[in-house]
């Protein structure tokens, strides 16, 4: 009789900062019912991976789950897998953090289940060739990866029915290829199709091994899958089919496969992830070309046999595509380097250990990228990442400055690794990042006592899937796709709108949304056109380099640029100077702005200073605008409006306990409007509030050679 071996792996994960109700929903709809079915089918043997984030939540909120899991581990039905505790992209974090995160989850798994995990789930299956050394040092014996990784190295489908060994500097790990056809079939096609596939691959010697490993959330959390898998019985039918065919289908653990089946050979894999991820990492315009090329190959009947040669980009380029991702990553590296400098003196100090764990938590991969799922666009995930980083920073401040008051530290360094230097300023109360190269702007403002980056917003960009949204609306489609009878659509095939009219909200910014930006507006600019980035910028100060100096130990940062402004048909020379004063003992910033007309004629300019503050929720009644001199008809942070002759406007977040006041010494017309993105998540297309822009603006009459001045004060407070 022909036989075949199959190894199953299930990966369960929730990101740092996800809402508690999301954990609860995933537990009730996926993790618990899946375990309950395994208990009813003791012959179904598989590997389980729970990220440390999720495992800790289960331990704290559903402690009754773990003894049941341990019982299945003790019986040999389940083997546990490890990984980075906080599910980081291992290739982009420091070496010590790679090893430390894996060992942390190893200890947790051992303590809770008694199992010494040898196998690893690689976050997003992102592989780089230097990883085997760190994995081996952390005690990892095997890793499961997509078969596309192996095909990129030249392997055929038949050669994927086994496992391989790879090494770096002589440190080896075993690599198991996940069979893509199974990943797309389970649980979206009838169970019998999997049995048919296995029968076609079985051999007389029974030495072939096929691997399925994928997200546990597809069994209950993904749209329509709870009803499909449990109410309608797909998963139980699937398990029963394996039990009925156990005479020729051998369910084997990965660790057993290593002992019983010889490796198929040695291999060196290129940098890779799953196919969709590599596509998402490319620029939007390139994704369109990539999709067109795939469509052309498909029309010609060439795609299926040649898709191994159609590869997308490289995961790290998310940090090029999205500067917001890069900023988080470089913040992490900055803190990790600072931690390393303090290691020798404070290694065993509880504050050092806690700071290290906060940095590790901030390495959770989910907010660093975007594709089919929300990721980077979900403001609560970015907020959670910065919260971890700021908490680490506070602890490192306490270790380094040991109670010193009113200190200030300023550093000029290429923080974001773009070839240009940024200015970093830290006090006991705030941490700031200025970018002289990009408009002399303020990129990050951390309010330490509240552990928040108040400038954590997103620039509105075109995404490749926006085209599908526009097409669906044009065709009056509900966005749902259909498949063959008995199939349900995969999450990659579904397109659902969470509200109508989203296509009308697609606005794209031509510059990165940061703060302290200098705008010169066209006379016909309106609040609506400015808010949609459809206005005419008259100056050349946005995205342009400013000269800069750091004075008085960092208490004064000066920026200046001699540029031009279009006035009627003239290209008028104008100088902008900005002097930032930092008060180490407070949470206040003072920005003195001077605009000089360098022309020989009197000129009129319309100038605005952009400030973009992120307080998470746009519609909540406890997050709102305030102004001592004005009562807003709609004061929610998502509101849009114009108020004349204001000297002060503020934002309040009662839930976070934060107040932000922006004061000017020259009465201004103040525009306010939200930055909202249209992104795609597991639940469909959705509108996400990112931040609120405040633009105090003035129409300035400047005589030839005259300088106009205004002072802006930003005051952060706990409420």
User: Are 606 and 521 within 8 A, CB to CB?
Assistant: yes
| Cα(686)–Cα(499) distance, integer angstroms | 7
The residues near 231 (Cβ < 8 Å, ≥ 6 apart) are: none
Q: Map 145-179 to HEC letters.
A: EEHHHHHHCCCCCHHHCCCEEEEECCEEEEEEEEC
| Cα(680)–Cα(699) distance, integer angstroms | 40
Looking at residue 125, the DSSP 8-state letter turns out to be G
Which residues are designated catalytic?
Answer: 124, 215
* Residue (of 416, 393, 388) closest to 342 by Cα position: 393
Q: Map 249-315 to HEC letters.
A: EEECCHHHHHHHCCCCCECCCCCECCHHHHHHCCCHHHHHHHHHHHHHHHHCCCHHHHHHHCCCCCH
Angle at 102 between CA 337 and CA 78, to 5 degrees: 165
Q: Which two tokens stand for residue 279?
A: 């596509």
* Residue (of 186, 163, 165, 281) closest to 239 by Cα position: 186
DSSP structure string for 692-709: EEEEEEEEEEE-TT-EEE
Tokens 């002992």 map to which residue?
Answer: 259
Counting DSSP H helices and E strands in the chain, the numbers are 21, 25
Quote the distance between the C-alpha of residue 77 and its chain's center. 34
């Amino acid at each position: 009789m022909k036989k075949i071996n199959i190894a199953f792996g299930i990966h369960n994960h929730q990101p740092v900062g996800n809402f508690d109700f999301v954990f609860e929903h995933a537990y009730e709809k996926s993790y618990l019912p899946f375990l309950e079915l395994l208990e009813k089918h003791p012959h179904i043997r598989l590997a389980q991976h729970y990220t440390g984030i999720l495992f800790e939540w289960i331990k704290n909120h559903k402690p009754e789950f773990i003894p049941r899991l341990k019982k299945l581990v003790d019986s040999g039905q389940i083997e546990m897998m490890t990984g980075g505790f906080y599910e980081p992209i291992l290739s982009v974090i420091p070496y010590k953090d790679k090893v430390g995160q894996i060992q942390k989850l190893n200890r947790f798994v051992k303590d809770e289940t008694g199992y010494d995990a040898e196998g690893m789930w690689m976050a997003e299956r992102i592989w780089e060739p230097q990883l085997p050394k760190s994995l081996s040092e952390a005690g990892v014996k095997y890793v499961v990866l997509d078969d596309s990784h192996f095909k990129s190295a030249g392997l055929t489908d038949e050669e994927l029915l086994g496992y391989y060994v790879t090494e770096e500097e002589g440190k080896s790990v075993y690599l198991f290829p996940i069979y893509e056809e199974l990943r797309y079939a389970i649980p979206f096609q009838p169970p019998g199709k999997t049995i048919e596939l296995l029968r076609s691959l079985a051999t007389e010697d029974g030495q072939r091994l096929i691997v399925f490993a994928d997200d546990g959330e597809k069994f209950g959390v993904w749209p329509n899958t709870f009803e499909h898998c449990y109410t309608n019985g797909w998963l139980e039918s699937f398990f029963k089919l394996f039990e009925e065919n156990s005479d020729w289908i051998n369910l084997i653990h990965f660790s057993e496969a290593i002992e019983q089946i010889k490796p198929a050979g040695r291999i060196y894999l290129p940098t890779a992830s799953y196919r969709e991820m590599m596509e998402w990492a490319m620029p939007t315009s390139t994704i369109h070309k990539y999709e067109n090329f795939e469509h052309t190959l498909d029309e010609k009947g060439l795609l299926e046999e040649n898709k191994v040669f159609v590869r997308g980009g490289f995961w790290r380029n998310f940090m090029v595509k999205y500067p917001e991702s890069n900023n988080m990553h470089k913040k992490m590296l900055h803190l990790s380097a600072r931690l390393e400098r303090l290691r020798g003196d404070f290694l065993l100090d509880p504050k050092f250990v806690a700071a290290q764990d906060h940095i590790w938590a901030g390495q959770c991969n989910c907010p660093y990228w975007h594709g089919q799922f929300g990721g980077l666009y979900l403001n609560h995930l970015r907020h959670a990442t910065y919260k971890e980083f700021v908490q680490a920073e506070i602890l490192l401040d306490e270790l380094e400055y040991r109670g010193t008051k009113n200190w200030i530290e300023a550093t000029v360094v290429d923080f974001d690794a773009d070839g240009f230097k940024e200015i970093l300023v830290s006090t006991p109360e705030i941490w700031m990042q200025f970018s002289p190269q990009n408009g002399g702007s303020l990129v990050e403002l951390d309010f330490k006592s509240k552990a928040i980056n108040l400038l954590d917003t997103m620039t509105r960009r075109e995404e490749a899937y926006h085209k599908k949204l526009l097409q669906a609306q044009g065709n009056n489609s509900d966005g749902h796709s259909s498949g063959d009878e008995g199939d349900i659509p995969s999450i990659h095939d579904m397109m659902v709108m969470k509200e109508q009219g989203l296509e009308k909200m697609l606005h794209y910014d031509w510059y990165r949304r940061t703060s302290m930006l200098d705008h010169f507006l066209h006379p016909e600019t309106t609040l609506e056109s400015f808010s949609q980035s459809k206005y005419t910028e008259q100056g050349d100060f946005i995205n342009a380099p400013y000269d800069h100096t750091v004075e008085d130990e960092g208490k004064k940062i000066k920026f200046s640029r001699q540029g031009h402004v279009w006035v009627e048909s003239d290209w008028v020379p104008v100088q902008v100077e900005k002097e930032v004063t930092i008060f180490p003992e407070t949470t206040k910033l003072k920005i003195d702005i001077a605009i000089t007309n360098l022309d020989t004629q009197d000129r009129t300019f319309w100038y605005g200073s952009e400030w973009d503050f992120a307080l998470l929720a746009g519609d909540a009644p406890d997050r709102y605008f305030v102004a001592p001199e004005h009562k807003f008809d709609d004061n929610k942070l998502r509101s849009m409006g114009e108020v004349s002759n204001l000297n002060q406007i503020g934002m309040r977040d009662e839930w976070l306990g934060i107040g932000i006041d922006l004061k000017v010494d020259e009465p201004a017309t103040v525009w306010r409007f939200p930055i909202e993105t249209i992104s795609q998540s597991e639940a469909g297309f959705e509108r996400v509030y990112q931040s609120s822009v405040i633009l105090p603006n003035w129409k300035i009459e400047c005589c030839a050679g005259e300088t106009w001045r205004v002072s802006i004060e930003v005051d952060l407070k706990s409420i």
